[in-house]
């Protein structure tokens, strides 16, 4: 991987991890902001610790969820590195945001149990505190509480959906790129015609 591609992947990841962990540390040590209206009727801080997955989903014990999260993150990182040559810088930037967000939440799962004295390794709960409390016609627009890591992951996914033609690599199926697929197809056609 050349330096510019490596930078596109690692810099966003490192920035997200730092911002995520600093913001979580700040909210943890600032009880006066645990329940605070930032923009009345729109945005507030509501400090909580999530033992489950994104959006508070919990289908297994915290330890199992932590292990699954770690395996999934390793899988994503392996996939990105394996396909690094075909990857665009935009794709690597987005995946850097995803990996940074994943690592930020994994850090919580690894150490929060110790820091808060309620558990051990893999028993940590993820710190969430950002809450859009906008209500329209009596229904909350987005009732979930999240963190900076979640914002990074969501932003990357939305960017890849909106700009997939520019961001996504042209081909992940052939190590030599799309031209090799055309050449292989022509070779097969020629061989069949000769028979």
Task: List, by residue number, the catalytic residues.
Answer: 128, 150
Distance between start and end Cα atoms, the chain: 42
Nearest alpha carbon to residue 96 among 16, 18, 3, 13: 13
> What residues contact residue 47 under an 8 Å CB cut-off, 6+ apart?
27, 28, 33, 34, 35, 127, 128, 129
Strand partners for 50: 126
Helix (H) or strand (E) holding 93: helix 89-115
């Amino acid at each position: 991987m050349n330096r510019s591609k490596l930078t596109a992947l690692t810099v966003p990841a490192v920035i997200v991890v730092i911002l995520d962990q600093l913001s979580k540390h700040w909210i943890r040590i600032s009880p006066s902001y645990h329940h605070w209206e930032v923009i009345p009727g729109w945005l507030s801080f509501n400090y909580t610790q999530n033992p489950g997955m994104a959006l508070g989903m919990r289908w297994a014990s915290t330890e199992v969820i932590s292990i699954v999260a770690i395996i999934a993150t390793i899988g994503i990182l392996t996939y990105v590195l394996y396909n690094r040559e075909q990857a665009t810088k935009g794709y690597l930037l987005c995946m850097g945001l995803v990996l940074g967000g994943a690592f930020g939440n994994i850090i919580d799962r690894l150490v929060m149990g110790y820091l808060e004295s309620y558990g051990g390794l893999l028993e940590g709960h993820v710190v969430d505190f950002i809450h859009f409390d906008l209500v329209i016609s009596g229904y909350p627009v987005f009732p979930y509480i999240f963190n900076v890591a979640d914002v990074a992951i969501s932003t990357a996914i939305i960017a890849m959906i909106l700009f997939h033609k520019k961001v996504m690599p042209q081909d992940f199926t052939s190590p030599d790129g799309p031209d090799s697929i055309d050449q292989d197809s022509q070779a097969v056609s020629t061989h069949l015609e000769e028979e």
